Chain A
């Protein structure tokens, strides 16, 4: 199952994405637990504007059915933040970059 986190907005208005295929990870189980615990249905709605120049995060898990959450930067806290940090670190380590 692929998990993708995408960050758009910010002062620079750039969009960047990071992905991990959790099935290919050595610790798949801990990934699945983290993903299942996320409050997907409580993420704020897709149409809400954010504070100016803040980032907008979109987190997608291509499970069946696909799960998707859109979060203004200020609300990227707790387990959401944990997932994003983990996806970014894993993805960057695997790509051989720290960007």
Chain B
């Protein structure tokens, strides 16, 4: 919880300002932003409050399925308890915290449901299980097969992605197929990337914009599973093939696989988000991320929203928060134009 009277988005705006009138203000704003980050990072973790309290709660519990598919598995670590020597459990615990921190510190949201929902994760699920998922109640991680994939806790963006499916479930509840499914996927990539960028204090230019970096074994020719900045370039491997993601609506993939290609066509709204973030500069979670968060939680999105409808909702959200003629509203429209999506009327 921040104690500064000037809101972060205004500081961010000033930090990027380039006017002959301003000499000290932009740097002062940057210092202000850093101070907010430092306060939030050094703050002691919120204590579990009674039912009367409106305070934020972070309550993580990690379980170990020990290679079976039985959930939840054995409890191995609770909130505030010391790390064990299980790397996967530690990575899950830390990334759950990083995800909580982004949503709480930046958007004022306490956990996935906005009401302090406990964050549970199970690691070591299945045998050679090449996947991670949110099952509606908890996170579940496999260890990978050791040939193509390493363990799925190795990338902070994965955990952020999965938990964001939970946030979407509690808010816009985008139907997981076709265009709305690709949007659901994209929203998870957006906030997954922002969890990582926020954790490492990266600006738009410093961030990799990669999803699932570090999941592949060294045998695979590829840096990550997806690139938001350049869809279709994340990997090019003789076994896996080439990253098939489109980055423009002209290349939308019609398929019956993968619930209508939700992991493919997410490349289009992913790149739109990147373009908005890049146009605005600075730390992407502050303005671009805020616009996307407002859109997701604003209550105007239908579960079966199309790209065009989502685009329109983002422009409306940017207009509502920053003004009709703002840099933010214009960058948002331009971002969608850049991927060939016309906001619905």
Quick check: A99 and B158 within 8 Å, CB to CB? no
Q: Which residues 192-238 in B have Cβ within 8 Å of A in the complex? A: 212, 215, 225
Q: What's the nearest-Cβ distance from chain B to residue A26, in Å?
A: 26
**A49 adjacent to chain B (CB < 8 Å):** yes
Residues of A within 8 A of B176 (CB): 49-52
Residues of A within 8 A of B225 (CB): 11-13
Considering only CB atoms, which chain B residue lies closest to A72 in the complex? B259
Considering only CB atoms, which chain A residue lies closest to B188 in the complex? A52
Q: How far is the CA of A56 from the CA of B142 in the complex (A)?
A: 16
B131-144: CB near A (< 8 Å → 1, else 0) gives 11111100000000
Residues of B within 8 A of A50 (CB): 176, 259
Quick check: A49 and B258 within 8 Å, CB to CB? no
Contact of A49 with B175 at beta-carbon distance under 8 Å, contacts A11-B225, A13-B225, A54-B133 already known: yes
Residues of B within 8 A of A8 (CB): 257-258
Q: How far is the CA of A50 from the CA of B240 in the complex (A)?
A: 23
Which secondary structure dominates chain A's binding surface? loop
Contact of A51 with B263 at beta-carbon distance under 8 Å, contacts A8-B258, A13-B225 already known: no
The 5 closest A-B pairs by CB, nearest first: A13-B263, A8-B257, A49-B176, A52-B165, A53-B133
Among the listed A14, A49, A51, A98, which residue makes an inter-chain contact with B177, where contact means beta carbons less than 8 Å apart? Answer: A49
Among the listed A9, A47, A99, which residue makes an inter-chain contact with B258, where contact means beta carbons less than 8 Å apart? Answer: A9
Q: What's the nearest-Cβ distance from chain A to residue B299, in Å?
A: 21
Q: What's the nearest-Cβ distance from chain A to residue B208, in Å?
A: 17
**A28 adjacent to chain B (CB < 8 Å):** no
Residues of A within 8 A of B158 (CB): 11
Q: What's the nearest-Cβ distance from chain A to residue B215, in Å?
A: 8
**B-to-A contact residues, CB < 8 Å:** 130-136, 145, 147-149, 152, 158, 161-162, 165, 175-177, 181, 184-185, 188, 212, 215, 225, 239-240, 256-259, 262-264
Most buried by B among A9, A56, A98: A9
Interface size class of A (residues with CB under 8 A): 20 to 34
Residues of A within 8 A of B240 (CB): 14
**A10 adjacent to chain B (CB < 8 Å):** yes
Residues of B within 8 A of A9 (CB): 257-259, 262-263
Considering only CB atoms, which chain A residue lies closest to B177 in the complex? A49
Q: How far is the CA of A55 from the CA of B256 in the complex (A)?
A: 13
Quick check: B257 and A15 within 8 Å, CB to CB? yes
Contact of A11 with B258 at beta-carbon distance under 8 Å, contacts A49-B181, A53-B131, A53-B134 already known: no
Q: How far is the CA of A89 from the CA of B161 in the complex (A)?
A: 31
Quick check: A11 and B147 within 8 Å, CB to CB? no
Residues of B within 8 A of A10 (CB): 130-131, 263
Q: What's the nearest-Cβ distance from chain A to residue B338, in Å?
A: 23
Quick check: A56 and B258 within 8 Å, CB to CB? yes
Q: How far is the CA of A12 from the CA of B243 in the complex (A)?
A: 10
Quick check: A99 and B147 within 8 Å, CB to CB? yes
Among the listed A12, A15, A47, which residue makes an inter-chain contact with B131, where contact means beta carbons less than 8 Å apart? Answer: A12
30 contacts between A and B (CB under 8 A): A8-B258, A9-B257, A9-B258, A11-B152, A11-B158, A13-B225, A13-B264, A14-B240, A46-B256, A47-B177, A49-B175, A49-B176, A49-B181, A49-B259, A50-B259, A51-B134, A51-B136, A52-B134, A52-B176, A52-B185, A53-B131, A53-B132, A53-B133, A53-B134, A53-B165, A54-B131, A54-B133, A56-B259, A99-B145, A99-B148
